[in-house]
Structure 1
Amino acid sequence: STLAGFFFETWDTKKVSRRYQSVSGNWRPPINSSLSFLPRCEKLHILDCCNGLLLCKCWQDTDRKILDYVVCNPATEKWVVVPATN
């Protein structure tokens, strides 16, 4: 497979910025690098990626002690919360 692009995060003292950088010569629709299509999160970190899917850790804005793991596809803006394990 060919690399089409990659996500990266930059930090300053108060804010994380996410960017998507295309590296392919093919035109593709823009990717929503803010991931604003995900459920409301107070804080979001990209943990890993594979084949266009991102694994993210999302802290709830109602209670920062509660977090979910979310797998999403930024190209299609589809996402699913990973079921909790006990």
Structure 2
Amino acid sequence: MNLHIIQKQVDALDLCLSYTHEHDPLIITSRFLSELIMNPKCIEGRKVFILQNDLEASGLSNRLNHFNIINYPEFIELSLTYNKVVTW
């Protein structure tokens, strides 16, 4: 399995979801947190991680706290766990 980090392109989440396996986990960064609220079905059945600092900075903690919230050391640990890390 590969770990996918959604952070760069405007359409990164859509591209990632159309080219990846449903079992591949995703890390969603600040720029894309609002998409999780506007279109929650797009990531249905996916393992989703959100960086704690991004979540706190967005002010959306109370609306996205059901996802896996991770800190930077956990982010590094995740990136070392998977075969590949792909940044979108």
Higher relative contact order (CA 8 A, sep 6+): 2
The structure richer in helix per residue is: 2
Specify the structure having the higher radius of gyration (Cα). 1
What's the TM-score bracket when you normalise by the shorter of the two chains? under 0.3
Under a length normalisation based on structure 2, what TM-score does the superposition of the two structures give?
0.25
The structure richer in strand per residue is: 1
Under a length normalisation based on structure 1, what TM-score does the superposition of the two structures give?
0.25
